[in-house]
Amino acid sequence: MEIDKDQCTMKPENGVYVYGLYIEGCTWDRKKKTLTDSNPGEMYTLMPVIHFSPTEKYEIRPDNLRNYSCPVYKTSVRAGVLSTTGQSTNYVLTVDIPLLEENSEQWILRGVALLCQLND
């Protein structure tokens, strides 16, 4: 979202506003509204407010291919015990982040992920 956390004074009609997620491996460019290279020496940056809106049977629309399916983890360790579903207990969900270019491969190779908390 384009607003800061201090401007979130009302709850949304649908879903929730989430603030406090960190992004690892790149940074969010507020002006261009896309992922961009990290500044030198910067491992983690704080993401802006994200509006999570529940959707039943969510599917990526074919006209919206410029997304990076970014995993969200509880901690920066990213490791966890495999549950009966075969997923790590540290994994939370996947967030589709808009991109300016169609190629999300560079972000996959860099291991870009959102983190709920840092281990530092």
CATH number of the domain that residue 30 is part of: 3.10.490.20
Q: What is the pTM of this model?
A: 0.80
Contact in structure between 88 and 82 (CB atoms under 8 Å): yes
Mean per-residue pLDDT, 43-61 = 82
Neighbours of 25 (CB within 10 A): 19
Domain-located, residue 74: yes
Predicted local distance difference test score (pLDDT) of residue 24 = 93
pLDDT exceeds 70 at position 61:
no
* 76: containing domain: 14-115
Of the chain, the end-to-end C-alpha distance in Å amounts to: 27
- Average the pLDDT over each of 47-56, 57-66, 100-109 and give the range with the smallest value: 57-66
Tokens representing residue 96 in the block: 């589709």
Domain-located, residue 66: yes
Say how many domains are in the chain. Answer: 1
Residue matched to tokens 């991109």: 99
3-class state of residue 71 by DSSP: strand
Higher pLDDT, 94 or 66: 94
Contact in structure between 62 and 12 (CB atoms under 8 Å): no
